[in-house]
Structure 1
């Protein structure tokens, strides 16, 4: 390997590694860092033979700008996918706040944050669904296809015109919309339960509200969860389609 192949490998390795730091599933703490680095190195080594060798120009600082560009491309591409994946955790937080599970927090190794019970459960279901449908293969395919859209020698004209930041804001908007769509059926049912229990408390004031109401809400929560679980997987299908479409759209923006 000559010096140009070494710099080509380095640029590819930086983009893939930064993508692994932010992409869903791969960024989780359940995968050791050594495995992520090793997997990124193997992918970069495979891509080096197919990519055009980059002739480094160190004296005028272009190489350092290209390294910064590779970091930004990997981070933005991973964030475009991760933002929509965060909607699952957001939906779980809404449900846990409504049911009263928000007082019981768990550490989520995928996002490295404290999450509630329902959010963790939804996150596990989403990861299993993504793995069962080979979605992780599409994520890897997306980062490898980025070298066709954004070559190693090219700069990003969309850095300064605001197209990347605007698109990421749209991803955040979809995060809240999909999160509400996942949570609104159960939240609506629990609201009706709250109204009914409030009326019952007025009719029978001798009832111990603190002792009776929480178990009833928890029971209704799990019953509604069983009923709407098939629609949850349908929403996951829409979510993953939007996630991969977002990766394709951000590549078109950066490669334009």
Structure 2
């Protein structure tokens, strides 16, 4: 009976390590899934991890520092593991927002029905394309492997935010460079269009440059965006792979 109680407590505590990814991190927040389903999935995965790692979970001395600290440390660890995916999709949304402003779509935003927040138009396309590639590739399996490895490396109740700060900064720079590579061709095309329209405005001052610019750049985005997304599968995979590889660098054992 005592062992069963310890296992149930370990499952609830370990759930706090998994919930932040399902509740706050893309690509899971891009899907309209009821909260109760997310919680039940987290509990089921936590029970699987507890059953596979008894020495690092319910048989460990996680009660030594108190259940409150164990819950806080597990939540901090879960937030750290989820940050890597959030940074990757934040880079995509930032680049998409820059393209929106450059193309004249700065006022066009979409409301995410899951988070009830406003998202950039082109950034939303990038985010959903990355989410589709994440689920179509080995992304979920790799995330499960990271959680399993984190249980073995950081036993229950011993997690804390930390890690290698230079590597974290390197990951952030890499994520934004890769995201810029996804929209680099569109940015260059829009820049050349701005130059051409600027030269035309000097020779034809009576022309409505702003109206012409909106039309030309809008058509260019509609023509180039599908090609950019279709040809950038490798960059999407590289970005997601970099995010998953950076996740263990955000946590450490105390």
Q: Same fold (TM over 0.5)?
A: yes
Helix, strand or coil for the counterpart of 2:111? strand
Match status 1:15 vs 2:17:
yes
Q: Is the 8 A contact 1:25 1:110 kept in 2?
A: no
TM-score by length of 1: 0.85
Q: Tell me the matched-pair count.
A: 249
- The equivalences for 1:1-256 within 5 A come to 1-2=1-2, 3-28=5-30, 30-52=32-54, 53-54=58-59, 61-109=65-113, 112-152=116-156, 154=158, 156=160, 159=161, 163=163, 167-250=167-250, 254-255=252-253
Greater shift in the superposed pair: 229-238 or 68-77:
229-238
Deviation at 1:71, TM superposition (A): 0.7
Q: Is the 8 A contact 2:95 2:123 kept in 1?
A: yes
1: CA distance, partners of 2:157 / 2:221:
54
The runs of 5 or more residues in structure 2 that have no matched partner are none
Deviations 1:127-158 (A, max 9, x none): 111111141232233223211111115454xx
Deviations 1:58-102 (A, max 9, x none): 6x6433222111111111001122211221111111110100111
Greater shift in the superposed pair: 145-154 or 219-228:
219-228
TM-score by length of 2: 0.85
Helix, strand or coil for the counterpart of 1:254? strand
Helix, strand or coil for the counterpart of 2:173? helix
Helix, strand or coil for the counterpart of 1:101? coil
Q: Is the 8 A contact 1:81 1:246 kept in 2?
A: no
1: CA distance, partners of 2:25 / 2:233:
21
Cα pair distance change 1:229/1:44, threshold 3 Å: closer
Q: Is the 8 A contact 2:71 2:157 kept in 1?
A: no
Q: Is the 8 A contact 1:84 1:174 kept in 2?
A: no
The runs of 5 or more residues in structure 1 that have no matched partner are none
Helix, strand or coil for the counterpart of 2:106? helix
